[in-house]
A and B are shown apart, each in its own frame.
Chain A
Amino acid sequence: MIRDLAELLVTKPRAKGFGLAARLAVPLTLILLSLLAAIVRKDSSTLFYAFSLAFTSGLIAYNSGLARLLKGVQLILLFILLGLLINVLALATGLTPISIENVLTGALRLSAIAFAAILLFQWVGIEEWVYLFSSTGADGFAKILALSMIQLPLTLRAFSEALLSVRIKYGGKYFTRILNPLLLHAMSTARSVSETLLIYGTPAPVKTRLLSGRDILLYAGVSAIALSLLV
């Protein structure tokens, strides 16, 4: 599951059909609206989350294929499902005043945010992030970002390996100890990739077209989803 999620978090060539502005604005708007809806509209935004989820799922499936989407999001859905189960269990035992509607809306909201974030990873390439941050003078941050993003799939795989090894080692106890090997792994990898940055140079900033005719479809979709908040 972790490996499949890792595959979802890399840039997809199909994304280049849209302008950079739309590729940035659409997922970020959906994430912001989801957060805003949680604060302002509390639990009456189910329709918005459902539309947002359907929209982002469709786009991710267009980028990666439906099978990859379903495999990749298993882990996220599993976490959400666990949260849902805990809440339902608490509700049944009278431990929490949260209603089942709230629980379901919360699960939908989390999914909507996670899917929009995946879209952001798939739509904006490393060299485009470098271009964006370098053009604002944040060259150092651009390097760190490039370094982190490029190693993300391999780091997720290491996470999967550490999870398995530590769980078996301690018979399911001391689960939080997994953080130590992961921290060391991240530090060692970061130094190695820093070597790579020095030898090969930071990925050259690529200035891609900001706008494309096809962007209208995306903006129309997001506007329609945003309108559902008013319903």
Chain B
Amino acid sequence: MSSNVAVELEDLWARYSGGEWVLKGLNLIVHKGESVLVVGATGSGKTTLARVLNGTAGPIYGVEVKGSYKVNGVEALGLDPFSLGLKIHVVSQNPYIHFLNFILEDDYRDYARKVYGERFEKQVVEKTLTRFNLRELRNCYFFNLSGGQARRAATGKALIPDPEVLVFDEPFMWLDDKGVDEFLDMLHLLKRLGKTIIVFEHRFNRVIRFFDKVFALRNGRIEEADLTALFRTAARKTLRTTLAQQSDRGGLGEVVLKLENVSFGYNEPVLNNTSLELRRGEGVAIIGLNGTGKTTLLKLITGYLKPWKGRVDVKGRFIYIPQLIHLFYTEGSLREEAVRLCESYGGGEACVQEALKALLKEGLNPDKPPSKLSHGQMVKAAVLLASRTVKPDLILLDEPFSGLTYVDRFNLVRLLSETPSAKLLTTSSREFTSLLNNWRLMVLENGGLKPAKALEKPLNAVFSIELAKLLIGVEE
């Protein structure tokens, strides 16, 4: 093997105890200093591969791994995760789980002490805080950091032992547009530092040009994508696509939500004289960076928070679909969810049957436990269950696109467009808002709502979807 190889996977197999093989003889070579993007559908094994790379697949998840995995020419299978982390470091989907001390600087120092000893601990931490522009956050509690800040802080921590290889598992999860820009800047910095970078991500639109190579992970194997050919095919398919249409404004019903001059804040004002009216059948998307008050606005509508000033008036039933989508589900299967929801609103067998039919139509097995669904399937099932059982006048969705693949986003927009309820969703990214035809786009900034426009053309979004389908192998 050449000494120029940073990571080499050869005939790698992995499976959870008693389950089917998730990785089936995977082969991958990443050279030193290279940056590589790995794209795969939800459930394709990206996270399992990340767990193999950081050495926790066996000890924590009971994954059986066979084959060969080398870092800098040294066999890494069986190495303990701490030692492995000094050579190859994986920053996982949820950046908040990287911290073992409440205060960022204390957390860094604890890790630096273990790696370098007390003598160099302070020096290394100061260097990391400066390099990643984290000095102002050094005394912050990790759980108070925004998604982008937490990702930056987790990456900074990963770089304390100066590993040769950095792996990011779905780094854009929970990031707003600003966070994505910050992450891109960080990738450039890592590249300048000569690091080898591997990124697992399905939201590749804005970063694909950064990478030296793009790989597709499907059916447990990985292969390099021929981007030029795929771009051409995706462009052809884009021109044949019809966009989902939200029902026309002319057919809108009565007002179901009215916010009049609402003001609210915590220590400082967040919303200031905000007004909004939403009619049955209408869709409104509120775009705003993290921390601008989108979730606060939803919580005022639900009645969980009371406005300092102004009025919030909701007519009829509503459903709230949270960003942490797994917290929506309370039952052992989708069927039981439907039964419980129908019961709660006095619906009979017909109500349950309608919900089950809708689930099956969307390819969701009603007997599957919600916890076994992918993130995209969970969001889709929540919308279906709510709209077919409760038939709410208003559906509130907090960041439904976060963590969804492009294909799942497209399907969710289609599903919402078919729902007669009023819809209010929040999103921290303008990416794909062009797909929300006939939706009212509003931007929330400086405590106020104002009309917004999608940044990209709808065809660009459709092109990304088609490219994603080709890359991850979704059937038409």
Contact = CB atoms under 8 A, between A and B. Distances in A.
Interface string A51-79: 00000000000000001000000000000
Contact of B101 (A7, A127, A198): A127
Given A177-B340, A197-B100, A204-B110, A185 B324 contact: yes
A192 B97 contact: yes
Interface in B49-73: 51, 54-56, 59-61
Interface of B: 51, 54-56, 59-61, 80-82, 85, 89-90, 92, 94, 96-103, 110-111, 113-114, 141, 143, 157, 267, 299, 302, 304, 317-324, 326-331, 340-341, 344-345, 371, 386, 390
Given A162-B322, A199-B55, 10 more contacts: A67-B267, A125-B101, A164-B304, A169-B319, A169-B341, A174-B330, A174-B340, A200-B98, A203-B100, A203-B110
Interface string A15-32: 000000000000000000
Contacts of B267: 67
Interface stretch (A39-47, A153-161, A217-225): A153-161
Contacts of B329: 180-181
A158 to B, nearest CB: 6
Contact of B82 (A6, A10, A154, A201): A201
A146 B55 contact: no
Contacts of B96: 154
B114 A158 contact: no
B344 A174 contact: yes
Nearest to A172: B344
A199 B101 contact: no
Contacts of B143: 6, 153-154, 157
A194 interface: yes
A203 B107 CA distance: 8
Interface in A1-16: 6-7, 10-11, 13
Contact of A153 (B51, B141, B326, B341): B141
A137 B26 CA distance: 43
A209 interface: no
A199 B54 contact: yes
Contact of B321 (A10, A165, A199, A200): A165
A198 B80 contact: yes
A169 B320 contact: yes
